[in-house]
Amino acid sequence: MTPKSAAAILPSRNEPATIAVVTAAVDAALNDPRAVIIHADSSDHPTTSKRFTATPTHARKISLPNLPRGKGAQILEALAHLPDTGGPVLIADTDTRNPDPDVYRDLLVHGERGFAIADYPRFWDEANFTSHMARPLIAATTGLDVPQPLAGDLALSALAIRAVRAAVNTMNAQLRLAVDGYGIDAFLLLTAAPTGRLTSVPVQTPKTHAASFPHLQQIYDQAVPVLLALTADWPHRLVPGASAPPYRLAHRTLEPHRRAAMLATLDAFAPLDPRYDACSWSVAVADAWHSVRNEAAPHEAAHGLWPHYVHRVRTWLTAATPPNERAAQLAAAHTRLFGVLTAHSTRSRIS
């Protein structure tokens, strides 16, 4: 029997400085002239696409330039161009400055059996959506504790790819718009997880990439409805509370001018208001999740949760917590959400 060949998808937008090094690292991981690398690009200028095309590879390359904006739309368009080899498919962020072929290789090996996603430590001031909402909510409602559920570097089996394609075709139009954007990461994880083994591949050093904070509201608006909708529809009951999981944080000094700029951005989103202290973050998340379970529109629930999220991030950035205590603080909040969701589990879903 001929061994199955793998493929890779590289979504990008304005990444001329990193596309070549990521492409080379992915090609080294594939190490197969039968493999294919698909570049799905929505850049404002052709430089990124040209640098991908000019990068020497052993694998065959397919360039899809001038795509509509949206990470999800790019990935889904690339899926339509995948050869049907039955092998795993790697998806890699193209803004990564330190791509590691060994990580990509491990993802492909584990992804062949289901779904594999990178697990790298995060700097304490970033990954706010992951640490404060995505990881604890997914763990509490599905039983899947994935340290970096929105890592961006992942691999899926052929069966998982088929599940993704089927789910996209049956999705309502409003949620599909979110999946076409930053909602794609949560969608891929929660759609692929039931199809096979779920593996978090440990990485020892933080991922160096473009900052996501400037896109905070866009990420939230597109990712949270998908996260709420898919976890609310998860077939399992709420998972009982468990011991606090480990959070791997990397410390760095947040310069005063950068902190001030971040806080100014947050204040523009939702000004500081004492009423948000009257409702804990865990209760606000649980209320939003239960409202979707009771058939509220995911986008409306996400909109109501937004000022609480802004307050949560603001509080996290301004708290005088020693660096060695921040990981434990996240773990405690994670466990607290388990308890709050379980305590509110009598809010059964309307049939």
pLDDT tens, 103-138? 999 999 999 999 999 999 999 999 899 999 999 999
Reported as half-sphere exposure (CB side, CA atoms, 13 A), residue 128 has a value of: 23
Sign of CA dihedral 17, 262, 260, 250: negative
182-196 pLDDT, tens digit per residue, is 999 999 999 999 999
Q: Are 23 and 10 in contact (CB under 8 A)?
A: yes
269-297 pLDDT, tens digit per residue, is 988 887 777 789 999 999 999 999 999 99
Strand partners, 155: 90, 116
Is the pLDDT at 351 greater than 50? The verdict is: no
The rounded distance, in Å, linking the Cα atoms of 331 and 130 is 13
Q: Which of 312, 319, 316 is nearest to 276 (CA)?
A: 312
> Regarding the domain with residue range 7-212, which homologous superfamily does it belong to in the CATH classification?
Spore Coat Polysaccharide Biosynthesis Protein SpsA; Chain A (3.90.550.10)
* Structure letter (DSSP) for residue 63: E
* pLDDT confidence of residue 347: 44
145-180 pLDDT, tens digit per residue, is 999 999 999 999 999 999 999 999 999 999 999 999
* pLDDT confidence of residue 125: 92
| pLDDT, average across residues 207-229 | 91
- Estimate to the nearest angstrom the gap between the alpha carbon of 111 and the chain centroid: 16
| pLDDT, average across residues 231-245 | 73
